[in-house]
Amino acid sequence: MTVSLRERVPLAPYTTLGLGGPARYFLECRTEAELREALTTARARGLSVQIIGGGSNLVVADAGFPGLVLKVAIGGVTHRDAADGVEVVAGAGVAWDALVRQAVERGWVGIECLSGIPGTVGATPIQNVGAYGQEIADTLVSVRCLERDNLGEVVFTRDQCEFVYRGSRFKGRDRDRYVVLDVSLRLRRDILPQIRYAELAQAIGRHGALERLEPGQAARVVRDTVVELRRRKSMVLDPTDPNARSVGSFFVNPVLSTAAFDELARRRHAAGEVDGIPTFPADGRVKVAAAWLIEHAGFAKGYRYGGVGISTRHALALVNHGGTTTELLALAQSIERAVYERFGVRLEREPVVVG
């Protein structure tokens, strides 16, 4: 088998931001065999390799990428009965929200709060994708990967993935070492969804108590409510919404030690500021709302910088209004600097920057 690489392929259309220059070489891999052959070809030709999925967490440099970009498009969804529900195996290239929709339609519970998130299944364990009180670590059984150097297959159990808030071993110490092939999830039948996020609970409450519904109906209510909440924040893919040309949240909510949070509170008190900082418990530490930090550092919703800006609906989303990646990263740096100078907190970027 010989793969045929395309040359000088624009990458902007493969991202939700719509920014970035071309890939020197590009290939969409629909099978594991194509992926192995492409990696072998790249090694033989001395090409650097960048793996992409749905492009919803990707910022590509204006100059593009000088090596080989491989878009993983491995499909397929299978499921089998398990002792306490159903085990679902989905290929890395499957659209994540399509999988969530399928699960909810079948009455399977466990990922309904992750509705409306763009991107592919393969990205979810890397980022430990989460929203509205759920994260992929809650239901993940295993991740099957291809090691890029020796092309060997490796399966990681949930515990071996070393999940943390918005991260995993694949984003940390093993960054760029593996390519996700498929993901196995354990979902439940005949139970009501658990609602752990106050905003979601309040929104669902307007529709009546979930306890009055059958589990499958309740899961559909949760999905519909989550999608509506995300739509109000321009956090779903919508070509008619100018705020949707983003990567969603550009920054991660900082998780501080209690000592670091006490220092933050002391600084604010010393400055005569008495309004509370939105916080959430995080395994003995304190999670601080990054959007609040950004707005209180002087960057309001709708702020513009050249051809980019901040969403008019959500301060965590940086939006492309016809600008450049250079402008976007300059804006990100300005926000990071202002937040640090004002609060002593360093913001961490959520998307991958390529090139």
pLDDT tens digits in sequence order for the chain, 355 residues long: 678 999 999 999 999 999 999 999 999 999 999 999 999 999 999 999 999 999 999 999 999 999 999 999 999 999 999 988 999 999 999 999 999 999 999 999 999 999 999 999 999 999 999 999 999 999 999 999 999 999 999 999 999 999 998 999 999 999 999 999 999 999 999 889 999 998 999 999 876 677 788 888 999 999 999 999 999 999 988 889 989 999 999 999 999 999 999 888 888 776 666 567 888 888 889 999 999 999 999 999 999 999 999 999 999 999 999 999 999 999 999 999 999 999 999 999 999 999 8
CA distance 5 to 35: 12
Q: C-alpha 110: how far from its chain's center?
A: 17
Instruction: Write down the pTM of the prediction.
Output: 0.91
The two tokens of residue 269 are 């008190």
User: What's at 111, amino acid-wise?
Assistant: I
CA distance 56 to 316: 15
Please report, for residues 104, 175, 299, the alpha-carbon distance to residue 61 in angstroms, rounded to integers and kept in the order given.
37, 19, 24
Helix boundaries (H) for 189-289: 198-205, 215-232, 258-270
| Strand 65-72, strand 22-29: pairing | parallel
Q: What three-state secondary structure class fits 121? A: helix
CA distance 355 to 352: 10
Catalytic residues, which ones? 166, 249, 350
Q: Choose among 158, 162, 156, 141: nearest CA to 85.
A: 141
Contact 335, 342 (CB under 8 A): no
CA distance 180 to 269: 47
Please report, for residues 127, 183, 186, 210, 331, the alpha-carbon distance to residue 141 in angstroms, rounded to integers and kept in the order given.
16, 8, 6, 27, 39
Q: Choose among 308, 311, 316, 312: nearest CA to 347.
A: 316
CA distance 29 to 37: 10
